[in-house]
Structure formats: structure tokens, C-alpha cells
Structure 1
Amino acid sequence: MAGPDSVAIDPPGIFIKLELEARGWSQRDLAFILGQTEQQLNPLLSGKRAITPDMARLLGDAFDIAPQFFLNLQGQYDLQNAKEPDPAVKTRAELQLVFPVRDMIRRGWIQDGEASLLQLQMNRFFEVANDEGPSQVAFAAKRTHYNETPPHQLAWVFRVRQLAKQLSVGPFSADKLRSTLPRLRSLMIDPEAVHSAPVLLAECGVRFVVVEVLPNAKIDGVCTWLDDASPVIGMSTLYDRLDNFWFVLRHEIEHVLQGHGKSSIGMIDHLAGDGDSKMDTDEECIANAAAADFCIPAQKMESFYIRKHPYFSERDVIGFASLMGVHPGIVVGQIQKRMKRYDYLRKYQVPVRRHLVTGAVADGWGHTVHAEL
């Protein structure tokens, strides 16, 4: 509908009548020229019937005017009288330019709705009091891109935070977390034992959640803080393998122990052991070293590799894993990376997500965790 300050546009039929007057033609004359009856022409002149492309060409020949002129008249008139669009359309468009809103709605992280409600949900989700953009919440994350955080990754991190706020854990104790590391490592012998990890972390005051990534968000884990004394570890299990799970978990635990991510964003751009480690920040190097040594002490892994390379029998791998007190998949993962042969003894790369979600808050894979915004 036209606004109070806009100029009303007359129906195209008014212009046709003016042209008839200018030429001294009657309505009956125009009907004759067009090869139509007056009854057929009446709705067009009264504005009850729109000018079609065919009619525009007929009128163009009759008045010696370009047919597009008549189509433009009809288009302007129709646009003026069109319904006002739902304000949510503009809001969705503006938000979608910055955030993965459609994917967030699809996953059930926010609900679609009218403009003000949608904006309010986004503000609450990204922990801001206005619509000027997400707060720069500090987090240290392992990811495959090193540049500024892409929207899909940022949304994933805030979903981790959103779910973590709902968890109730005891006071955080770095000393207790360190003393719990041996108990966590004892779980590495059995893939099914990963479900106990979230419980042990909670006892130390660390919130742990699992969230499936959004499309195009290649991120493995994150350490973020709800406040200076409330650490959160989020994991995606993007690579659902036993060795990857324990490496990423220990990596994020080290971030917690070191207090990384409280006041600045620290990230790496590729998985540990892949690519050029020179790109890693000091924080990531510290976490990588702690994670590698946790899985298999570096000196022992190096000694085994040198002694057996290039022929690693399955028996040797199983024996070394038993000696280290870990599942063979942990050793296999190390060998695969060193040899760059990811098909080697792949049968030991067992998935763990199905065991993990039985003991953790897990969002995704067809299941949405209810969370208040």
C-alpha cells in the first residue's frame, strides 16, 4: 500500500482514456482497433483487469508506443497496491548476511518468527544486549581455518556456551583437574569408557558438551569460559575416532589448566599433526604437546617408531598399545600420521560418539537439546 507521503499512481486505464481523448477516439473506436468488444475493454479501462504482455503489444500498436511502457504502468500500479511485506523478511535477510540463521533455525537453536522476536533470540543467543553484532567472547578453539572466525563456527561456539550454562557442576579446581588426568587416561583402553569422561570433568568443575557442527564449520573442540571460574569444553566429534577424541579432549583440558581463552581468542588452523605447525600460537603448541604426551609419551612413541619402521606388524602395534595402557587405535593413529597412510590398520580406528553421548549433553545428529534463551 502507498505510504502517506507517496504519490498515488492511477490505474493504467486512466492513461488509456487520456490517450483516447487526445486522439478524439471513443471507447468503441479503440475496441474496433483492438479487435475486441466494448464489454471486453471495460474492465481494462476501469482498472479491474491488468494489462497482460499480449495486451501491452496490442496497445503499443494502437497508440504507436513501446509495449514496455504499458507493462511499466501496470507494474508500478501493482507494486503500489501490493501488500506490505512481513517485517521478518527484512530482518531475516539482514541477519542471514552475517549469521547462519537458516541453519540455526533448522537445528532448533532458535525459532523462526516475527521480526522483533527473531532479533531478540539472536541477541540472546550471541549474548549481546543490542543488534550491533556478537560479543567477542573469548575462546581457544582448534579449527581448520586460521582467519577471523567464520559465522558457522562462531554460532557453534555460542551454542556450546548456551548448553553449558544449563549444566550444574561443582566449583572449578585446576588442582583437582590435574589429579584427575590419570583417571581419564585409564579410560583410553576401552572405547566404551569415553562416556565416563564428562562425569569426571564435572567433578572438577568443568562443563562438557558435545555439539554437531553446522555445515561448513570445521571445528573439533573449544575451551571457553562463562566467567573466570567457569571453564567449558565443547567438542564436535567431527572426526569420530577414538584417537582423535582423546587428543582433542586433552588439548582442551590443557587450555583450561593454562587459563587460555579467558581474555583473547586463540585458535589454530589445522588439526594437530597435519600441515605446518609453525602456524600454531604458543597456546596451541602448549596444548598440542600436552595432548600428544598424554596419549603416548613422545619419547616412547619415537623409540617404537624408529625400531619398527617401516614394517609395523599388527602384533607389534597391539603389544605396544598394551604396554602403554591404551587401545590399539591410539597407536594406529600416531603411525598413520607419521607415515601419512591413513588406511593402515583402519579397523582399529573405532568410533566413539555413540558411547560418548550416553554420558554427555549432546546436541545434533537428529536430536536437539532444549535450551532457554
Structure 2
Amino acid sequence: MLKEQNEIRIGPADMKAIPHPGVELRQMLEDRGWSQTDLVFVLGCHPKSVNQIINEKQGVSPAMSKALGEAFGLAPGHFSELQRAFDLASADEPDPSVLLRAQMQKNYPIREMVKRGWIQDGDADSLGKQLARFFDVRDAANVPYLAHSAKKTSYEERAIPPVQLAWLFRVKQIARAIAVPKYSERRLLDAVSKLREMLAAPEEARHVPKILGECGVRFVVVESLPSSKIDGVCFWLDENSPVIGMSLRFDRIDNFWFVLRHEIEHALQGHGRGDPEGMIDAELQGDQAGTGSSVPEEERIANAAASDFCVPRQKMDSFIARKNPFFYEKDVLAFAKLNNLHPALPVGQIQHATGRFDYLKKYQVKIRQFVLPGTIADGWGQSPALAMEI
């Protein structure tokens, strides 16, 4: 005998009206003129099993659903569907913040942001207010990349990855809390020469925040978020207030000085003035560190300045031309000493030129331990207390 393939579909308006499967079972018994005892006989089960369902004190198990389907000529899953619909209708409504958390987590590493103290976990209203404050918008409906955004933002139109955007806004928050004198391009140019004298010893990096601050440049270090691949940024709080942010995701002396000088050049050139996100630099270690035609003009300028700062371009090119393809360690060390450089800086240039990124890697010492103590930083277990935080 073919059994009816009854499928139960539920809409939101029906949820509160879904009855217990026992209601339909009572009606079926009445239609057939069966008593509970008759059904117990047909099913060959304990009387309590049927009585509990009919009196709506027990749900219908998958095995009982199959048995009832056989008894009444219905699909095996008919009563299971009734039970599923009833359970769903009877369940408590989820906290409204679940939807907001899902929308947030879809794009932003929210758990990491909560862990880092950028926002605090809470109900939907609290999360919405905190996100709006974090992203400097009027309300949560305008937070970039959230599914319920009222309109597209300039960040989305320019395809800035949301994880990089979150990092950028944290840098902005911290930068606003830093007091510096009026920005002077002349002082920043002079500072470049002063910084150039510090390239031989890793510990000299501790002076960077103070030197930049005296030029009117706010220097901020924020640990990168997972998968952001961001190295640094240069942006302007206003037309004459530059900010340099770094992630230190590569904890190496050569990378630190290259990225720092790269961002300084953006500031000196006025790159990013008027743009809310400024100049975001991601993956400078890769193709973007080049000077080819595929690299934007502003990045080529900054890369050239950074490269020449770390190792004078003419001297480095001459050394590579003379020694290629055999770069002996003693020659590299002698070159570094002659030019008052830490060995990691020419090593980094040689690695990039040859594509051998394992070459003399032992000289690429860590530098974060020297940078953080004198810097307003966020990450690695520390978070500055800002007045704007809840």
C-alpha cells in the first residue's frame, strides 16, 4: 500500500499555533473509532507509551513515528515532523543579539575584538552602540560591512577588507588620545637623518615614538588581527595631523625599519590626505615592496625611500653586482659595518633581490621588545584604556 507523503511546512505566523502531536493522534483514534487500548494492541507497546503522547506529556520518538505511520498508513516521518514543528514552536526565542553577533562575525573577528578589549560582549543594543562608537558612525545600521547596513560605505565601495578596517579604526582611536605638537614637515625630514643613525643596534628603536612625536606625528602600534596581513598605515586625523600605525606582524629589525620609513615617506609626500583610510599597506613583504609598473605610484615612491633608507640603493646595487651569485657571510658583515648598519638590513635586501628568503636569516633579530615599552600600543596582552571605551 502506498503511504501518503505528508510534508509539514511552517511559517513564522504559524509558530505559536502548532499543537502537540498528541492532538492529531487523539483525532485519528476518534475518526477510526479506536480506543487507546486498541492502539496499544496494534502497536504492541506498553500502554504508558501511548497514554503519555495522547495526554501531551511525552514527545514522539523516531521509532514511535515509524510505528504510528504503519498503523495509520502515513509516511514514517509524519509524526516526527509534527513533533519537530511543535518543539520548534515551543522553544524560547533566541536573544536578539544572536543575529547581530552573526552579522558581525561574518566579516569581523568579533571574538578577538572582545578579547582585546576593543568592544565588550553584551546584548544587541549594547553591541550596536559599541560598534557604532568604534566605527565612528551614528548608529549600528551604518557600520561598514554589516548585512543590515542602511547603505554602502566608501570603505565597501573601495573594497577595503573589513578585518583591515577594524585594525585601522583601533589605530585611529588610540591616535586621537595622543597629544603631540603641531606637525612640522621640516622636523620630520630632519628626523629621518636622526633615525638613519640608529640602524646598527636593535635597541635604538625605542627612541622612535619620541622622535616622531616631537615632529607632530602620532605613532601607534596595534597587533594585527588574524588574516589581516596588514603591515602599516599612514593617515591624517585632519589636514595637518599625520598618524603612522604599525602592526609589527613580522618581528624583525629589517622589516620594522622598512615599514616605518615607508610610512614616513607617505606622510612627507602628503599621501592619503583627505582619505578616511589613508594609505593602508598590506603585505609589504611581497609584491607590494617592489617598484614595478603594477605597483601604484605612491607605493613606488614610498618603497624606494624605504629601501634607500635601510641600505643606500647605489651601495647595495654595487655590492650585489660585485658579489653575485656568491654572497659570503663575512662580506655581508663587513658591508654592514662599513655602512653603520645592522647585518639584517643588507641581508633583507639581498633576500629580496635573489628570492632566497632563508639566506642568513639568523641575523634578522626580533625588535618588538625594544619598540613596545616606549610606545602606546595595543596587543600582545596589553590594551590602552581610552575614554571612548564603554
> TM-score normalized by structure 1?
0.90
State the distance in 1 between where 2:283 and 2:92 align.
Answer: 50
Matched, 1:271 2:284: yes
State the distance in 1 between where 2:357 and 2:142 align.
Answer: 45
Q: Which residue is equivalent to 1:73?
A: 82
Q: Which residue is equivalent to 2:37?
A: 28
State the distance in 2 between where 1:318 and 1:41 align.
Answer: 88
In the alignment, which of 299, 303, 319 is matched to residue 314 of structure 2?
A: 299
Q: Which has the bigger relative contact order, CA under 8 A and spacing at least 6?
A: 1
User: Post-superposition shift, 1:328?
Assistant: 1.8
Amino acid across the alignment from 1:79: L
Amino acid across the alignment from 2:22: G
Q: Which residue is equivalent to 1:224?
A: 235
User: Post-superposition shift, 1:307?
Assistant: 2.6
User: Post-superposition shift, 1:36?
Assistant: 3.5
Amino acid across the alignment from 1:232: V
User: Post-superposition shift, 1:167?
Assistant: 1.8
Matched, 1:19 2:6: no
User: Post-superposition shift, 1:105?
Assistant: 2.2
User: Post-superposition shift, 1:342?
Assistant: 2.2
Q: Which residue is equivalent to 1:353?
A: 368
1:12, 1:70 within 8 Å by CA — same for their partners in 2? yes
Aligned partner of residue 71 in structure 1, secondary structure: helix
Q: Which residue is equivalent to 1:107?
A: 116
Amino acid across the alignment from 2:64: M
Matched, 1:132 2:142: yes
In the alignment, which of 284, 290, 299 is matched to residue 284 of structure 1?
A: 299
> Any stretches of 5+ residues in structure 2 without a counterpart?
1-10, 145-152
In the alignment, which of 316, 328, 339 is matched to residue 343 of structure 2?
A: 328
Structure 1 230/67 Cα, relative in aligned 2: closer, same or farther at 3 Å?
A: same
Aligned partner of residue 369 in structure 1, secondary structure: coil
Q: Which residue is equivalent to 1:141?
A: none
2:109, 2:226 within 8 Å by CA — same for their partners in 1? no
Structure 1 206/283 Cα, relative in aligned 2: closer, same or farther at 3 Å?
A: same
Matches within 5 A, 1:70-219: 70-130=79-139, 131-134=141-144, 136=154, 148-219=159-230
Report how many aligned residue pairs link the two structures: 364
Structure 1 210/104 Cα, relative in aligned 2: closer, same or farther at 3 Å?
A: same
User: Post-superposition shift, 1:345?
Assistant: 2.2
User: Post-superposition shift, 1:331?
Assistant: 1.4
Identity over the aligned pairs, expressed in percent? 49
Aligned partner of residue 232 in structure 1, secondary structure: strand
Worse overlay, 215-224 or 94-103: 94-103
Aligned partner of residue 33 in structure 1, secondary structure: helix
Amino acid across the alignment from 2:143: G
Q: Which residue is equivalent to 1:46?
A: 55
Structure 1 174/203 Cα, relative in aligned 2: closer, same or farther at 3 Å?
A: same
Amino acid across the alignment from 2:314: Q
> Any stretches of 5+ residues in structure 1 without a counterpart?
139-146
> TM-score normalized by structure 2?
0.86
Amino acid across the alignment from 1:114: D
